[in-house]
């Protein structure tokens, strides 16, 4: 009988892609993105049922998906310009952009994000950098296959 060997593989982060929708409806990468951190938070509520011998029970009541990124300012890049275009606005109409994460496994997580450029410029001896928060506005959609 042949022996089955299961291999485990660590996936490099650079194979994951974060894309933003531009004016023509296509999704493009954001040039100059040097760091990215994705956070999926769940709000868990505790309650103490009298029939549970004093132990807490838990329930998930809500969740949120956010992306933090460090992006070098690249003039003329469509994705970079789309992020930069939100800098001066405080209203969701101008801050909301469709974005997607294309994972190296082929799955896609997509949603509408409110973009907040928090820090801009930086050290005079460095390249211009934007510290950006992408806040998913509502539930993201998981697409199982890219179809490619």
For the segment 67-80, the average pLDDT, to the nearest whole number, is: 93
Higher pLDDT, 15 or 141: 141
What pLDDT score does 127 carry?
Answer: 82
- The size of the chain, in residues, is 148
Q: Which of 33, 129, 123 is nearest to 73 (CA)?
A: 129
pLDDT (tens digit per residue) in 90-136: 888 889 999 999 988 899 999 999 999 988 776 676 788 889 999 99
Global pTM value = 0.80
Q: Does residue 52 register a pLDDT over 90? A: no
Give the C-alpha separation, 129 to 120, whole Å. Answer: 6
Q: In which band, very low, low, confident or very high, does the pLDDT at 49 lie, cut at 50, 70 and 90?
A: confident
* CB-based contact 40:63 (threshold 8 Å): yes
Q: Does residue 71 register a pLDDT over 90? A: yes
């Amino acid at each position: 009988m042949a022996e089955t060997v299961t291999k485990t593989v660590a996936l490099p982060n650079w194979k994951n892609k974060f894309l933003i929708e531009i004016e023509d409806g296509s999704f493009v990468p954001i040039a100059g993105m040097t760091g990215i951190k994705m956070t999926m938070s769940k709000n868990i509520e505790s309650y103490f049922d009298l029939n549970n011998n004093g132990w807490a029970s838990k329930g998930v009541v809500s969740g949120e998906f956010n992306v933090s990124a460090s992006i070098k300012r690249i003039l003329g890049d469509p994705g970079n310009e789309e992020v930069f275009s939100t800098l001066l606005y405080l209203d969701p109409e101008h801050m909301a952009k469709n974005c997607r994460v294309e994972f190296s496994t082929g799955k896609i997580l997509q949603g509408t994000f409110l973009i907040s450029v928090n820090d801009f410029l930086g050290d005079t001896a460095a390249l211009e950098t934007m510290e950006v928060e992408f806040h998913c506005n509502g539930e993201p959609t998981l697409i199982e296959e890219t179809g490619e």
